[in-house]
Amino acid sequence: MNRLSRYLWLLAGCLFFAACKETQKTNNIPTFDLQKDYPEQDVFIQDIADVTYIPLETTDESVLGVIGGVICLNDTLVISDSQQNKVFFFDRQGKYLSSFGHVGGGKTEYFFLHKLCVDPDRREILVYDSPTKSRIVVYDFAGNFIRELKLSEKISADGIYDYDKDYLLAYDVYMLEIPGEGAPNPYPYCLISKTTGEVTRLPLKVEKRKNNTFYYDAGNGNLMLSTIGMSPLIKKGDDAVISDFALDTIYRYANRVLEPIAIRQGGEGNMGLLSSMLVMSDLYYFLETSDVQVNPKSHQIESSEDRLLMYDLKTGRVVSAQLRNKDIPQRDNHAAFGMSDVVLPDNSIFSYYVPELLYRHDEQHQLFGELKALMSRIDPESNPVLMIAKCKE
């Protein structure tokens, strides 16, 4: 065999090895079949995570209306109240620290606290104003105005998070919100500069975008809507997870690089079949799905079949999970563990319980463990009790 022949054989061998390695890498990506009937299984949060409850202190100054978002820092909980348009600060044990609200039409104010971001390094609060305003107002933790960011293009962020030292990361639903208003941008994920407001689209193209909000004509010119409560963009520690409703692939977005981490099958061509990553840990992926049936004439939602699929990263087994809390086992709605507009330490799960719910379950002898013990510290008018669960490794 001459030198050229040996070289060609060596090259062919290298290419074969590389192809096998790439195929193995692709085959090892977790896959969910959205049409498959997986076995059902009760999964208790305490079996996969260490649970901590945080009863938020209730004073005349700290009464919460509707929690819009929760951002958990090392020493502080920052909570947006979408009813009062205010930002509240508690310590990690739930003690009230302070709050501020600057509603108005001035440069140093916001019209509506639509979404909230926190830059923990700069100790800055970034308020994404009403989508019609295309602006972000920045304050310090005391509520003092720092700067106004006018966005370089019109977006409507249905999810916006602190991403790195220079940028926020947002999911844009502009023109997707109301049908017939125009074509939505096929690049819905974007970085927003914290200093200039410049919007930069991620190179992730979504041709036929799906919406989790369904509109219908209620008569007399009134347009009504129904929304399925899931988000295609969540934070996972310092990274982000993108599970767009219209794409097969789920991505981790870390260091400004998109990395495929899971595949979904069976959702092609069904605009009502939605799925997104609910929780990711080092051991499990939880994918929530909703098969929405819409009346073709009225466009109203007639029904929706919801499931939570759990993928075991060690065994590759997938089950249809009922995610429950042993301390309140009768409550089995997995949507209560949602991560939309929530920022936690890595490998964590979030929920919260309003006292009215806890009292109702307690009267029916359906509260146990630490939640039962907390009842002596709260009353029906108290602030909610937060639950942060750190997934076991």
User: Structure tokens of 215?
Assistant: 């509109």
**Per-residue pLDDT, 22:** 35
pLDDT (0 to 100) of residue 334: 62
Interacting residues of 372 by C-beta distance below 8 A, sequence separation 6+: 327, 362
Could you tell me the two tokens for 248? 């097969």
- Taking alpha carbons only, the member of 380, 391, 379 closest to residue 344 is 391
**Cβ neighbourhood burial of 21 (10 Å; 0-12, 13-18, 19+):** exposed
What is the DSSP annotation of 218-269? EETTEEEEEE----SEEEETTEEEE--TT-SEEEEEETTEEEEEEEEES-TT
Q: What is the DSSP letter of 110?
A: B
**How many of the other CB atoms lie within 10 Å of CB of 257?**
8
How far apart CA 232 and CA 240 sit, in angstroms, is 10
Report residue 383 as tokens: 């602030």
Identify the pLDDT of residue 199: 98
Average pLDDT of adjacent 10-residue blocks, the chain of 393 residues: 42 42 57 97 95 97 96 96 98 98 96 96 96 95 98 94 97 82 92 98 95 77 78 92 97 97 91 90 93 77 86 97 93 72 91 94 95 94 95 88
Residue-level pLDDT at 333: 64
Give dist(CA 167, CA 154) in Å, integer: 17
Residue 372 near residue 353, CB atoms below 8 Å: no
Between the CA of residue 239 and those of 131, 227, 257, what are the distances in Å?
25, 26, 10
How high is the pLDDT of residue 180? 66
Type of residue numbered 182: G
pTM, full prediction? 0.89
Domains delineated in the chain: 33-63+229-393 (no CATH), 66-209 (2.120.10.30)
Residue whose token pair is 């009842």 = 375
Q: How far apart are CA 190 and CA 183, in angstroms?
A: 17
Predicted local distance difference test score (pLDDT) of residue 335: 61
Element (H or E) spanning 47, and its range? helix 45-48
pLDDT at 50: 96
Calculate ∠ Cα 378-229-91, nearest 5°: 35
CA 387 to chain centroid, in Å, comes to 16
- Separation between Cα atoms, residue 358 and residue 255, nearest integer Å: 41
- Measured between alpha carbons, how far is 327 from 321 in angstroms, rounded to an integer? 18
**Of residues 71, 110, 244, the one with CA closest to residue 173:** 244
Q: For position 142, what pLDDT does the model report? A: 98
Res 2: pLDDT: 45
Q: Is the Cβ–Cβ distance between 310 and 334 less than 8 Å?
A: no
47, two tokens: 């079996």
d(CA 357, CA 385): 11
pLDDT at 237: 86
